[in-house]
C-alpha cells in the first residue's frame, strides 16, 4: 500500500539533496529502505549507520515501518562546541 510522506533534510543532507524538503509517495516498508533509495537518488555520502531518523518529531529506528502521512527527517551527525 502506498504511503504519502514529507521528507525534510538538514545540514549536509540538505546540501546534497539540493532541497530542504520534498513530498514522496512510496511503497517501501522501512526507513532503512527509504534512506537507501534517497541515498541513491541524491548521492548522500553518509551510510545509514551514521544518520538518525525522526518521524513526526520523535526518534525511531531504521527498521521501523514507514507511517503514512508522516514527516520523516534523516539527521546527519552534528559537530558542535
Cβ neighbors of 70 (< 8 A, separation 6 or more) are: 3, 5, 6, 55, 56
Residue 2 neighbours by CB distance under 10 Å: 8
The confidence score (pLDDT) of residue 81 equals 52
The confidence score (pLDDT) of residue 1 equals 85
The confidence score (pLDDT) of residue 78 equals 78
The confidence score (pLDDT) of residue 37 equals 97
Tell me the pLDDT of the chain (81 aa) as tens digits. 899 999 999 999 999 999 999 999 999 999 999 999 999 999 999 999 999 999 999 999 999 999 999 999 999 987 655
The confidence score (pLDDT) of residue 80 equals 58
Amino acid at each position: 500500500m502506498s504511503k504519502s510522506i514529507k521528507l525534510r533534510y538538514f545540514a549536509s543532507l540538505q546540501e546534497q539533496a539540493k532541497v530542504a524538503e520534498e513530498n514522496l509517495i512510496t511503497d517501501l516498508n522501512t526507513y532503512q529502505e527509504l534512506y537507501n533509495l534517497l541515498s541513491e537518488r541524491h548521492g548522500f555520502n553518509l551510510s545509514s549507520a551514521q544518520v538518525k531518523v525522526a518521524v513526526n518529531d520523535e526518534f525511531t529506528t531504521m527498521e521501523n515501518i514507514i507511517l503514512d502521512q508522516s514527516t520523516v527527517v534523516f539527521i546527519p551527525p552534528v559537530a558542535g562546541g
